[in-house]
Amino acid sequence: MARSKGWYWPWIIVGILVAGIVPNLVLVAVALNDPSFAVVDDYYEKARHWDEEMARRRASRALGWHVEFAVDPVEGRPGFRRVHATVRDRDGRPLQGCRIELETFHNARAAYRQKASLEWDGRTHAATLPMRRAGIWVFRFDVTRKGEQFSETARRELPAVLP
């Protein structure tokens, strides 16, 4: 059986379509698995309640509180760091009886967030977290004390942790 002229044109069209689809599927797979890409949780609800958030921030600033914190490597546990935090009032006095919640993440890996409740260790509130990466970390503190709420976000550059 002889082939007719132009039998290969349908295959060329299919090849062009596949050549366009496959790279796009690869790009989608890479984008969905990129740890540096993050979407804000409940972004639509947060946008709907923007005015309440701004009022909460103003009330937080009006308290005049400030979170002083340090991040230290944990000896014998490579890749772990201990976050120590003290809440101070507007006069610089430490506040007792605070409950401190922390959310932290590396700036280049915002999809990997860690949350911890900082426990009172007799001197400060503290928690130990896996924080291997060097670079800029974001720390979000939510403080509750006697019905008052305070929030503060800080950035801190952390050095590499040597094994």
Contacts of 20 (CB under 8 A, 6+ apart): none
- Pair 19, 74 in one domain: no
Q: Is residue 14 part of a domain?
A: yes
The answer to whether residues 119 and 98 touch, using CB atoms and an 8 Å cutoff, is no
- Pair 116, 132 in one domain: yes
CA distance 124 to 85: 6
- Pair 124, 70 in one domain: yes
φ and ψ at residue 141, rounded to 5 degrees: -105, 130
This prediction has a pTM of: 0.77
- Pair 89, 29 in one domain: no
Beta bridge pairs of residue 144: 99, 149
Q: How many domains does the chain have?
A: 2
Q: Is residue 21 part of a domain?
A: yes
Q: Is residue 2 part of a domain?
A: no
- Pair 63, 15 in one domain: no
Q: Is residue 1 part of a domain?
A: no
- Whose tokens are 């295959």? That residue is 11
Q: Tell me what the pLDDT averaged over the chain comes to.
A: 90
Taking only the tens of pLDDT, the chain with its 163 residues reads 567 777 888 889 999 999 999 999 998 888 888 777 777 778 888 899 999 989 988 998 999 999 999 999 998 888 899 999 999 999 999 998 999 999 999 998 888 899 999 999 888 999 999 999 999 999 999 999 999 999 999 999 999 876 6
CA distance 124 to 25: 50
